[in-house]
Structure 1
Amino acid sequence: MADQFTKVDCLRETLLESLEITDKRQEDISREDVLSRIENVIQTIVVSVSKGEAPLLKVMNRSSWTNVRFQKSVGLVLKADVSLTPLQCDCPSSATKFALILKVLSVIYKLVQSDSYATKRDIYYNDMQLFGSQRTLDFIVDDVSCLLKVPRRSLHVLATSKGFISGDLCYLEEDGTKVDCNSSSAATPVSSNVNGIRNIVSSAKFILIVEKDATFQRLLDDDFCTRLSPCIIITGKGMPDVNSRLMVRKLWDTLHVPVFALVDADPHGIEIMCIYKYGSLSMAFEAHSLTVPSVLWLGLLPSDIQRYRVPEESIIPFSQADESKINSLRNRSYITCQPAWEREK
């Protein structure tokens, strides 16, 4: 265990020497500006109808790698010349999505106008038949954010959090509720309104991102946050939700301490770490608010399997899906710029 502590200390010192804080996030947009942008979209549709033309919307394809580029200081960001996909209301293949975007624009307009908030789950349950699934609504909300060029936090739509956090951390929620994450046996759910958090108080020396909920709980049970040194641990319980990523970024911006990732030594664990570090393809339009490029891969490294003599019977062989994932990762620019990672393959 001692050499693991030394590993953390060495990485922390290295990061502190080279840490460069970049905070080029989009500023919160005023309510009036959000309302104006929605009105402009609707006005364009009304003008088309008045001319007897089928109205259309142009949305970005958020699943296309051709629309993003890798910027080392930020991560995956949108290109200046992103390709847009037209959605026409009279086209069978796009009419449904066109209608859903208008519905969500209407909901957001009312929320912003009344200065009230709703979760994506609330919106979905208000019209389950229309949206069909929570996933469909989630995708439409992100499309609207991208269409309006407005950070999702300015749309007054909140996401339900699935992550947990614990350690040397206290803060106030936007409504004034005090949150203390210092309990060694129970974790605190990540806030559903991370941007409203204020008065952050912590003497943490580092932040540890933990991939698996079971590993996170084991660290809590072992009183990790006080036995090692004051620190903060957070988990998105696998593939992280937006709030967990926002929380890591907010703590990094506020505390200016190293951030480490503890993930499985497999392609999916590496991808999860990369999402915290460099962002995701579908949310590249909000990369400045969601990424922490200084995240360091603490482990588990593939080379640790031999170093710590992990029994062969404890190792799960790669599946076909694992092979496909590792081949996909190899082609990503944020992997090829990491020579040490290349050696771990």
Structure 2
Amino acid sequence: MTSLKSLASELVLSEVSRLMEVLTRIEGIILEIVTSLSKGEAPVLTLTNRSSWSNISFDRAIGLQMSSGSSVSVIRSDCPSSVTKFAQILKILSVIYRLVQRNSYATKRDIYYDNTQLFSSQKAVDHIVDDISCMLKVPRRSLHVFAQTFPFHRISSNIGGIRNIVSSAKFVLIVEKDATFQRLLDDNFCTKLFPCIIITGKGVPDVNSRLMVRKLWDTLHIPIFALVDADPHGIEIMCIYKYGSVVSPSNPSYSCTVYYPMWPVQCLSVSNMLWVPKDVLIPLTKRDESKLSSLLKRPYLTSQPNWQKEMELMTQSRVKAEIQSLAAIAPDFLTSIYLPNKLRYGGWV
């Protein structure tokens, strides 16, 4: 009983420390603005360029991290082209401060509808929340702002509040597309072959989806597989689940990266090329080729030779394939043949 009380006390102290850190960093930004005003100077905000890989470092123990790179954007309060964004950032900072102070939560959509005149679109709010996450150097979940409210049977909004996960599942299968996810459910895949857990982020995953997978890995310690399209976009989604993204890098204190062993289960590999009918293969576009080139330059790819091999094969063949292309062989080929063989005999790349 004493050890349980001690653990509970440590968790409470850790949570309080996390909340105080966010509040302190916001107060530091406001103090800089007030100091500038007191000197008769126009306040500015400096944002790290989240789209530049020059601002990203990779640590094998942590994952992707935002570093103090040279590529920054300066948001001036006295410049017509940036004064609106300056006001938007301050508004969202004030909302976040109140949320963290009260230990309550809101969605990005809540913030948008709170002041639609200030925010030109929902996308503007989305970008600024990510900017603030990088500016404060904390993961987005520490801001108490969620992408959306998930139905319970998918993903809870408060991943940190989920306790006592117990499962007989043999593995977790991450599915890129919701349509494929629904097909697996319809075919009763979770119980027909192996007891397993399937999860989807409906394309590029938000932080909550990644945190849920991380929670499952930390709790159950079972293999993680990814079923994605055999194209550059699918490979990037797999990388985001494992290593994080430039818009939401890791933080040493509160890991935002879902960093765990993962085996991709893809439709297009050296052995699979003969399986998929040629007429359903799709030629790579110039944008695809550019994405492949960019992916191959990412710092973590040196530790993934099989992923590199997959991308090199794609570059040489100049074709890509969607998960649905397996239906051209047989309607149930994915669930009855492809996945069972991949999972039974270790045929993942």
The answer, yes or no, to whether TM exceeds 0.5 is yes
Structure 1 residues 84, 322: CA separation in 2 closer, same or farther (over 3 Å shift)?
closer
Q: Determine the C-alpha separation between the residues in 1 that align with 2:27 and 2:70.
A: 23
- Residue of structure 1 in register with 2:257 after alignment: 290
Deviation at 1:270, TM superposition (A): 0.9
1:58 is paired with a residue whose SS is: strand
- Residue of structure 1 in register with 2:196 after alignment: 231
2:272 is paired with a residue whose SS is: helix
Q: Determine the C-alpha separation between the residues in 2 that align with 1:152 and 1:142.
A: 7
- Residue of structure 1 in register with 2:128 after alignment: 140
Match of 2:37 among 20, 41, 49: 49
Contact 1:252 1:292 in 2 (8 A): no
Contact 2:176 2:237 in 1 (8 A): yes
Structure 1 residues 47, 343: CA separation in 2 closer, same or farther (over 3 Å shift)?
closer
Look up the equivalent residue of 2:280 and give its one-letter code: S
Structure 1 residues 33, 292: CA separation in 2 closer, same or farther (over 3 Å shift)?
closer
Q: Which runs of 5+ in 1 are unaligned?
A: 1-26, 165-178, 180-187
- Residue of structure 1 in register with 2:331 after alignment: none
Deviation at 1:153, TM superposition (A): 2.3
Structure 1 residues 107, 334: CA separation in 2 closer, same or farther (over 3 Å shift)?
same
2:195 is paired with a residue whose SS is: coil
Structure 1 residues 269, 151: CA separation in 2 closer, same or farther (over 3 Å shift)?
closer
Look up the equivalent residue of 1:109 and give its one-letter code: Y
1:299 is paired with a residue whose SS is: coil
Deviation at 1:286, TM superposition (A): 4.4
Confirm or deny that 1:270 pairs with 2:235.
yes
- Residue of structure 1 in register with 2:160 after alignment: 195
**Superimposed CA distance per residue, residues 92-148 of structure 1 (whole angstroms, 9 cap, x where no aligned partner):** 333222111111111112222333221111111111121111111011112222222
Q: Determine the C-alpha separation between the residues in 2 that align with 1:342 and 1:67.
A: 23
Match of 1:105 among 83, 93, 96: 93
Q: Which protein has greater RCO, CA pairs closer than 8 Å, 6+ apart?
A: 1
Structure 1 residues 35, 335: CA separation in 2 closer, same or farther (over 3 Å shift)?
closer
Aligned length: 295
Contact 1:124 1:137 in 2 (8 A): yes
Structure 1 residues 37, 339: CA separation in 2 closer, same or farther (over 3 Å shift)?
closer
Structure 1 residues 248, 82: CA separation in 2 closer, same or farther (over 3 Å shift)?
farther
Q: Determine the C-alpha separation between the residues in 2 that align with 1:34 and 1:342.
A: 38
Q: Percent identity?
A: 60
Q: Determine the C-alpha separation between the residues in 2 that align with 1:152 and 1:295.
A: 23
Structure 1 residues 267, 31: CA separation in 2 closer, same or farther (over 3 Å shift)?
closer
Confirm or deny that 1:222 pairs with 2:187.
yes
Q: Determine the C-alpha separation between the residues in 1 that align with 2:293 and 2:69.
A: 28
Deviation at 1:211, TM superposition (A): 1.0
Q: Determine the C-alpha separation between the residues in 1 that align with 2:201 and 2:35.
A: 45
Relative to the length of structure 1, the TM-score reads 0.78
Structure 1 residues 111, 230: CA separation in 2 closer, same or farther (over 3 Å shift)?
same
Match of 2:83 among 85, 95, 102: 95
**Mean alpha-carbon deviation: is it higher for 283-292 or for 293-302?**
283-292
Contact 1:59 1:143 in 2 (8 A): yes
Structure 1 residues 256, 137: CA separation in 2 closer, same or farther (over 3 Å shift)?
same
Match of 2:104 among 103, 110, 116: 116
Q: Which runs of 5+ in 2 are unaligned?
A: 1-13, 314-349
Structure 1 residues 66, 283: CA separation in 2 closer, same or farther (over 3 Å shift)?
same
Look up the equivalent residue of 1:107 and give its one-letter code: V
Contact 1:161 1:241 in 2 (8 A): no
2:118 is paired with a residue whose SS is: helix
Structure 1 residues 198, 82: CA separation in 2 closer, same or farther (over 3 Å shift)?
farther
Confirm or deny that 1:248 pairs with 2:213.
yes
**Superimposed CA distance per residue, residues 260-308 of structure 1 (whole angstroms, 9 cap, x where no aligned partner):** 111111111111111111111111144832322411112223324335x
Look up the equivalent residue of 1:134 and give its one-letter code: Q
- Residue of structure 2 in register with 1:340 after alignment: 306
Relative to the length of structure 2, the TM-score reads 0.78
Match of 1:306 among 257, 270, 273: 273
Q: Determine the C-alpha separation between the residues in 1 that align with 2:97 and 2:288.
A: 43
**Superimposed CA distance per residue, residues 233-269 of structure 1 (whole angstroms, 9 cap, x where no aligned partner):** 1111111122111111111111111101111111111
